[in-house]
Amino acid sequence: MLIMTAQPTAVYHSRSKINLGLEVLSKRKDGYHNINTLFYRLDSPSDILRVSVSNTFQLSVNDLSVANDSSNLIVKAIERCSQLKAIALPGIEISLEKYVPIGAGLGGGSADAATAIEIFSDWVSPLTPKEKFEIARSIGADVPFFLMHSYAALASGIGDVLIPIDFKLNYPMVLLKPKTLSIPTDKAYQMIELSNEKKATDLYMATQLPIEEWDGLIRNDFEEVAFTIEPSLAHIKERLISSGATFSLMSGSGSAFFGIYQTLEQATKAYEMFRAETTLEVFINNNE
């Protein structure tokens, strides 16, 4: 297989995301749900994918709890790229260093899939932007977002209808995820109560307001579900607020929460305090 690069190895950073608001509006006839959300890309945490030439396609992972077979979205992405180009699986090895928590609502697996699509295009056979997005959409609703160059995008439909927006969060952020607790996305959707179709909040306009005014306006409909499944999660959010965060929200269907602070000094102090606890995974973003 011809490798379309002269590089012996390459390193790719696979970013994560938060949801600045997540509303479940209605259930569709196909069984999925229409949502309204604002995806926002983070620089930390991020996974690292190292690529090298190999005799066969291989995926290795530094986390034994992460599968390296076709259930892994990286493998699925490479398989679908190969199918689209009508070629055999390429002779490359991808080594995944996993740092984005699993089951956190931070989009780690989706980001890895998007990065794998870019790897295939760089190393094996060039893909057009349309081809990349078609493959991404076939893997997961939020995978296309990670192919975008924009920091932020409004998402509707099942999360796959994307509108990039010019928005940059210029405040530091701390993320917390309980190490042993995750919320299954399918279970979270099953527990969402929908009587009538909800009206979507204009999340772009909401984020133009001072952060002090976000509470009550920007919401995550999965928080109530998560607190029902695991009441201790409400304490995570309360602790972020008590540590000085001006605004806090759960990301995705959980179980990670983010807190936005007015100053880097506040965020750093909170980060150091939470990092001392062995039960939490803790990350900080300067967002400068």
Catalytic residues: 17, 142
Reading the block at residue 111, the tokens are 């980001």
Looking up tokens 């291989």 gives 58
Looking up tokens 């400068």 gives 288
**Edge-to-edge strands, sheet with 257-260:** 247-250, 257-260, 173-178, 280-285
Give the gyration radius of the chain's Cα atoms. 19
Are residues 244 and 143 in contact, defined by beta-carbon separation less than 8 angstroms? Answer: no
Cβ-Cβ contacts under 8 Å for 147 (sequence gap 6 or more):
114, 117, 118, 129, 132, 133, 136
> Residue 10: left (phi > 0), alpha (psi -120 to 50), or beta?
beta
CA distance 267 to 44: 14
Torsions phi, psi for 286 (to 5 deg): -75, -35
